[in-house]
Amino acid sequence: MEQIKMRRSIRKYLDKPVEDEKIIQLLESARLAPSGSNTQPWHFIIVKSELIKQKLAKVAHDQKWMISAPLFIVCVADISSIMENDQIILDEHSPQGEVKRMIRDTAIATEHILLEATHLGLGTCWVAWFTQEEIRPILHIPLNKFVVGIVTIGYAAEMPTARPRKSLEEIIHYENW
């Protein structure tokens, strides 16, 4: 609960790199995430290059604040195991149920990174405001993969107050809907 309560989306970072051992620990937290039938469909691209960060921020609707983060982890769902044809176009409009499961599982692993980062004293923000079409070429991601999110990571240069959440009464149902 401590990390869950402390975590905030951070959009301003100190000019201080993230230590390699912390990066490995973040990836380890993702590796241990649960997934349907233990398929573990996730891959992670570590990005520190200023040029690539700039390109990613650009396709994420030019969210310039992203560039202040020294590290991005791009979280990618690998759906190749269920794709018969490598050329099938997979994007935000794809209806395939299996694809949704792979994306769900990779999202769980991504949230592990967010919480572990909080535990390590790091700030993060999950960014998903981009299209597959625009982000894939920047990182040479094949068509049978789906980018679930870019996680910006670094030491926070801001301490936002908690954003509001719905009350338990608004979201809980007992025994049925």
Least distance (Å) between residue 128 CB and ligand FMN? 4
Which amino acid, one-letter code, is at 42?
Answer: W
Per-residue DSSP letter, 148: E
Beta bridge mates, 46: 73
CA distance 119 to 58: 29
Binding mask 64-103 for ligand FMN (x = CB under 6 A): ----------------------------------------
| One residue of 127, 135, 141, 147 binding ligand FMN per CB under 6 A | 127
Q: Which is nearer to ligand FMN, 83 or 156 (CB)?
A: 156
| One residue of 8, 43, 55, 119 binding ligand FMN per CB under 6 A | 8
Q: First CA to last CA across the chain, in angstroms? A: 27
- Using a 10 angstrom Cβ sphere, with 0-12 exposed, 13-18 middle and 19 or more buried, the burial of residue 41 is buried
Least distance (Å) between residue 64 CB and ligand FMN? 11
By the criterion CB under 6 A, which residues form the site for ligand FMN? Answer: 8-9, 11, 60, 63, 125-129, 149, 163
